[in-house]
Chain A
């Protein structure tokens, strides 16, 4: 089982970078557009059966409640994806 950390960090312009630390893969959610693409998420996870994912973020450094709320929604989304991926069961050949 290999632990993969998906790291979320926010810059001063509230752009959020999502990075797979192991692969050095990342993408950015632009604050202006607030849009993210499924392909980018798929690529950054780079799923392997034996991976165990963990989400880390720097949200605690944020002061602005509104931005925090926005950032938290994104973290929740990634947490939710992480949970499902960690629970995937391929033991039945599925």
Chain B
């Protein structure tokens, strides 16, 4: 099995002055790359077609490359590498002000992968960091074999030997000019050269496939998808006549020519990072975000920010959060000295930029809100709906307690009346027969109208609520064809209420009549009493005693007959709400939801000897009632309700929130990390409010690495070409795997902040961004290792 990698340790050097140019030490622009250009050194194979593509005509090529906005190129002749041409182009590029920034050494090899099969073309792009080795590429190649005839080729073994002999890190790109499952014809493609093209891809022998026309791109992609592979495919011009660049030659049909677009530095390392992270680096859309933070100035130096993803890294206390605060908010007093000392200022790309265009999520904010249960309490967006039965629950519990009190009071009164019987005696003193003593009854009982009034009020509330509901949503109910039914229901309610109102009015009228009669009787009694003699007064007193005695008995009998049923505990109540929003169900559940809370109610409200219905039923005295109430006397019922009863209601009205994904019908979990991920999804990906810059201070808090890779990175990736993102992080997954466009490394010594920044692939004489990531982020080394493992570049 082939398991071919080239591991060459080398330092990677760049022209520092060049990379100090603000626009290319980090990723802000999308660049075009062409790694397949021929020169006159392919003449032995291609003949006269390349005769004008000479060192003397390099200016033509550069002009054409600039016209086509190519930033990185490679001249890759058939089985040849001319250092003189490579070096001349390099020098000319250094003096060039166009898009072209860099050229890499390369060769297009003819290789026989399997004996008896047609050869294929493999483009080898070499690392240019060791110029001495680059200068000897052709010499080393020829030492193994020099191909002189058009149909000659290297065997696979010879090809591997050549690469080993050259001894430079290399990226291998193989022609694929038809579907991978198509081995017909001879197109110099991988699928012609081997019966198992997918094996060469899977083992990592090659790094990319090259197609020539857009139509072929779709075919190759589709065939890769069919075998379940995601693999880099790029295009090259295969230009032989520079005058006709980007076409093959003067005879090529001049159809629109597109280049593969990369977001990388125009360097070998940038190319390598792109190949190892093809999905995040290649064919990205241009970020159309028109408002972003252009740069931040610290201690007199301007550090540009990418209008893509920026990661601020550094030790604790290095000033990361300070920077986030400065960028996102109006500076707090706490930072004033530090800001002044470091002369920190911000520059936006547009003077109309406002800070409210920044969506800033401070460190720990989300986790704190998850723990407080108010993460989704957003002023602008209601994720969770209120639970509609909370008021009902409160009313039911209060009413139940009132009913218990009524029951107990009924028992107490009944008991007191009973006790009163044995204490009440009457001495029979005969009244003279000739005593004129008309009995004036003044005790006329009035009807209780409160019960009717309460019912009328309750019905009024229901009627008004229904009326408002219908009025506010008339269109909705009309569309659903239930408007008439609701109106009927409303009318029936009004009619029912009218019946009760009539009864109430009649009772009130009766009471009025009774009151008039009573007053008249009292007047008559007073009139008669005024006319009585002393003896008659005495006799009246005796009659009064008789009446009183009788009343005690009648009152007691009446009290025993009054219905006094112990109230039933309220039935279980639904206590939840569900709101569907963008593929998720946001559910709120009250503690009382579908719970029988009878035991809990007695346990919460009453003392230990009265913690069940039976003991409460037996209460017959005020003292017993006071003993039953936890820490309150029966005279403090209102206070008891306000404190104790409301305490119970509040306790069992507490809400828990859950979020579930509708598609998978699964809860997303209740850990802060899991919940915060959903929040990030909405804040980052699904946010309704417009923002241009997203700043998050340590989004990785409490989220496990797998979820960062699978979800958080995906959310951030989805906006990287639409917004400017600035992350403050200690997590290498959010730097290396997310493949950020710009890393800002901070250190602080004696309150002086020092900045090192650049793309992941950026390095200069002082530092390498990948090294800083390795050294400063926990697990940074592993993340980079994993990222470059496929390529075997562990020395990067």
Contacts and interface: CB of A to CB of B under 8 A. Distances in A.
Whether both chains belong to one complex is answered with yes
Contacts of A35: 425-428
B433 A39 contact: no
Nearest to A48: B561
A28 interface: no
Contacts of B430: 66, 69-70, 72-73
B392 interface: no
A80 B547 CA distance: 9
B422 A37 contact: yes
17 contacts: A34-B429, A35-B425, A35-B427, A35-B428, A36-B425, A36-B428, A39-B421, A39-B422, A42-B421, A42-B557, A47-B561, A70-B428, A73-B428, A77-B426, A77-B549, A88-B554, A88-B561
A29 B428 contact: yes
B424 interface: yes
B556 interface: yes
Contacts of B426: 35-36, 38, 77
Interface in B519-566: 546, 549-550, 552-554, 556-558, 560-563
A38 B561 CA distance: 18
Contacts of A59: none
B431 interface: yes
Interface centre among A34, A35, A39, A45 (most CB of B within 10 A): A39
Nearest to A66: B430
A74 interface: yes
Contacts of A45: 553, 557
A72 B432 CA distance: 11
Interface in A45-94: 45, 47, 49, 66, 69-70, 72-74, 77, 80-81, 84-85, 88, 90, 93-94
A38 B421 contact: yes
A37 B423 CA distance: 8
Contact of A81 (B425, B429, B553): B553
Contacts of A72: 430
Contacts of B554: 81, 84-85, 88
A4 interface: no
Interface centre among B420, B426, B433, B552 (most CB of A within 10 A): B426
Interface in B741-761: none
B552 A38 contact: yes
Interface string B413-450: 00000001110111111110100000000000000000
Contacts of A37: 421-422, 424-425
Given A81-B550, A88-B561, 8 more contacts: A35-B428, A37-B421, A37-B422, A37-B424, A39-B424, A47-B557, A69-B430, A77-B549
Nearest to B424: A38
B529 to A, nearest CB: 20
B557 A38 contact: no
B428 A47 contact: no
Contact of B556 (A42, A66, A69, A70): A42
B553 A38 contact: yes
A41 interface: yes
Interface of B: 420-422, 424-431, 433, 546, 549-550, 552-554, 556-558, 560-563
A69 B433 contact: yes
B762 to A, nearest CB: 89
B561 A73 contact: no
Interface centre among A38, A45, A66, A72 (most CB of B within 10 A): A38
Nearest to B426: A36
Contact of A93 (B424, B428, B563): B563
Contacts of B422: 37-39
B547 to A, nearest CB: 8
A33 to B, nearest CB: 8
A29 to B, nearest CB: 7
Contacts of B425: 35-38
Contacts of A93: 562-563
A88 B431 contact: no
A74 B561 contact: no
B558 A88 contact: yes
A-B CB proximity, top 8 nearest: A38-B424, A39-B421, A39-B422, A34-B428, A38-B421, A47-B557, A69-B430, A70-B430
Nearest to A31: B428
A42 B424 CA distance: 11
A38 to B, nearest CB: 4
Nearest to A33: B427
Contacts of B552: 38
A93 B433 CA distance: 41
Contacts of B546: 77, 80
A84 to B, nearest CB: 5
B250 to A, nearest CB: 110
Contacts of A36: 425-426, 428
A49 B563 CA distance: 12
A68 B509 CA distance: 46
Nearest to B563: A93
Nearest to A41: B553
Contacts of A70: 428, 430
B409 to A, nearest CB: 15
A61 B489 CA distance: 71
Contacts of A34: 427-429
Nearest to B542: A73
A42 B563 CA distance: 19
A80 B543 CA distance: 12
A77 B421 CA distance: 16
Interface centre among A49, A72, A84 (most CB of B within 10 A): A84
A5 B343 CA distance: 110
B427 A77 contact: no
Interface centre among B420, B433, B550 (most CB of A within 10 A): B550
Interface string A5-26: 0000000000000000000000
B534 to A, nearest CB: 21
Contacts of A33: 427
Contacts of A49: 561
B562 A94 contact: yes
Given A38-B426, A73-B430, A73-B431, A80 B557 contact: no
A49 B557 CA distance: 10
Contacts of A42: 421, 553, 556-557
B441 to A, nearest CB: 11
A41 B560 CA distance: 15
Contacts of A39: 421-422, 424
A90 B562 CA distance: 8
A72 B697 CA distance: 100
B428 A84 contact: no
Interface centre among A47, A66, A90, A93 (most CB of B within 10 A): A47
A85 B560 CA distance: 13
A93 B562 CA distance: 7
B444 to A, nearest CB: 14
A38 B558 contact: no
A80 B550 contact: yes
A90 B561 contact: yes
A42 B430 CA distance: 22
A74 B428 contact: yes
A42 B554 CA distance: 8
A34 B424 CA distance: 14
A62 to B, nearest CB: 13
Contacts of B421: 37-39, 42
A49 B550 CA distance: 18
A85 B551 CA distance: 11
A39 B431 CA distance: 24
Nearest to A67: B430
Nearest to B548: A38
B93 to A, nearest CB: 103
B503 to A, nearest CB: 11
Nearest to A49: B561
A81 B552 CA distance: 11
Contacts of B433: 69
A33 B428 CA distance: 9
A37 B554 CA distance: 14
A85 to B, nearest CB: 7
